[in-house]
A and B are shown apart, each in its own frame.
Chain A
């Protein structure tokens, strides 16, 4: 039963890849401006479950892809998160320019494996680099970002006490790579501050009947580049806990990212998402495949 379930879950990731990657290659055919980006491999990071460049759950200050000054880059990704009682599937794409602007789209489907049913949301993200260069300046690279989110069907979020079916997260992120920092390896540190009204990142709507204020949450990542192409890291994401019907916990994960080349990367992680909608201790695997132009 379990094996069948896991196979089913992995099949859905494969299916999402099959949907997401052709979009990328369609871009390859239609936009002649895409040459391989000039930035150093791995400096684009991965793509979060919300579509922005970063780790798995924390947006970083990096701009998606490998485009440097005056260069375009595009990415497409498919991600699956398989915890005890839920499955999150995400497909997403991004377009970036000048190593400064990033636009992203992500479509999340959240299967309520045990309860039955599903939730979903669409996320439109923008990101703008304010200052600093990840590799080259003493000042960290600092970016300002926003994520506009809207849930598919407000029935369940409303029933559990959410006020709105859409919300806007605004965040500022600072990232820096320290060369030769630990055992001759380069280290990336990232800190993000986010203003949000989202319950469970928005899957359970935004705000509550009792409280419609923005909450400020802290998110952090640290990674060591074991080789030029392999990064081992940890992430922590603080989350609001506003809905009365069930507790919401902070999220964390340990990840291994393999940047095979500037066109393909695979990120695997073990994530602890805590309590979700009354189901305690939700843990499981995260897999993300990303293509970059």
Chain B
């Protein structure tokens, strides 16, 4: 048993580090080709179901926000129709869908809102649930979260 574990440790470490390295290479490559690859099956955007899929995910997200007393107050003065369009554009851009995002950057658009970690966690939870409702596979969900998670610092506590 102990020998098995000792053998497993370096294998696991190798898997994790090469896994991470491969991911970096993959995530930087599509950005170069994003404009040409919108019809390709390989983009995250396509895996999320393209425009139809992303619209459904954002609609599911908005429906969950609307009934969540923890965070709905942040949207009281928000033009929901406009927010919906911007969110779809932004997710599309992030997922290499080649969309033009017409909104402000994450830091500017959340300025003065004092989004807390709890708000951000709640939104992440709703996004995951909405993607699950749309039958988005785990690996695709994780790939999108990987690209959205680093926005935490731009979005919270401003």
| Pair A234/B8 contact, Cβ less than 8 Å | yes
- 1/0 per residue B115-158: CB within 8 Å of A? 01111111011001000100001111011011001101100000
| Pair B19/A270 contact, Cβ less than 8 Å | no
| Pair A69/B118 contact, Cβ less than 8 Å | yes
Counting contact residues on chain B (CB < 8 A from A), the size range is 35 or more
| Pair A68/B118 contact, Cβ less than 8 Å | yes
Distance in angstroms between the alpha carbons of A222 and B152 in the assembled complex: 24
- 1/0 per residue A158-183: CB within 8 Å of B? 00000000000000000000111111
| Secondary structure of the B contact surface, majority rule | helix
Chain B CB count within 10 A is highest, among A39, A181, A222, A236, for: A181
| Pair B121/A179 contact, Cβ less than 8 Å | no
Counting contact residues on chain A (CB < 8 A from B), the size range is 35 or more
| Pair A180/B152 contact, Cβ less than 8 Å | no
| Pair A189/B16 contact, Cβ less than 8 Å | yes
List residues of A (37-78) whose CB comes within 8 Å of B's CBs: 38-40, 68-71
Given A38-B118, A38-B125, A185 and B142 contact (CB-CB distance below 8 Å): yes
Would you call A121 an interface residue if the criterion is a C-beta within 8 Å of the partner chain's C-beta atoms? no
Distance in angstroms between the alpha carbons of A136 and B23 in the assembled complex: 17
Would you call A277 an interface residue if the criterion is a C-beta within 8 Å of the partner chain's C-beta atoms? no
| Pair B117/A138 contact, Cβ less than 8 Å | no
| Pair B142/A40 contact, Cβ less than 8 Å | no
Query: Which residues in B have their C-beta under 8 angstroms from that of A137?
Result: 150, 152-153
| Pair B122/A136 contact, Cβ less than 8 Å | no
| Pair A222/B12 contact, Cβ less than 8 Å | yes
List residues of A (218-234) whose CB comes within 8 Å of B's CBs: 222, 227-228, 234
Within the complex, which residue of B124, B146, B153 is in contact with A40, where a contact is CB–CB below 8 Å? B124
- 1/0 per residue A116-135: CB within 8 Å of B? 00000000000000000101
Query: Which residues in B have their C-beta under 8 angstroms from that of A135?
Result: 124, 149, 152
Given A179-B143, A184-B138, A99 and B16 contact (CB-CB distance below 8 Å): no
| Pair A234/B12 contact, Cβ less than 8 Å | yes
- Min distance, Cβ A179 to any Cβ of chain B, angstroms: 3
Distance in angstroms between the alpha carbons of A187 and B17 in the assembled complex: 11
Query: Which residues in B have their C-beta under 8 angstroms from that of A252?
Result: 2, 5
Would you call A241 an interface residue if the criterion is a C-beta within 8 Å of the partner chain's C-beta atoms? no
Would you call B25 an interface residue if the criterion is a C-beta within 8 Å of the partner chain's C-beta atoms? no
Query: Which residues in B have their C-beta under 8 angstroms from that of A187?
Result: 16, 19
Closest B residue to A98 by CB, please name it: B117
4 smallest A-B Cβ distances: which pairs?
A: A184-B139, A136-B152, A179-B146, A68-B118
Give residues in A with beta carbon < 8 Å to B: 38-40, 68-71, 99, 133, 135-138, 178-187, 189, 222, 227-228, 234, 236, 252, 254, 270, 272, 274, 283
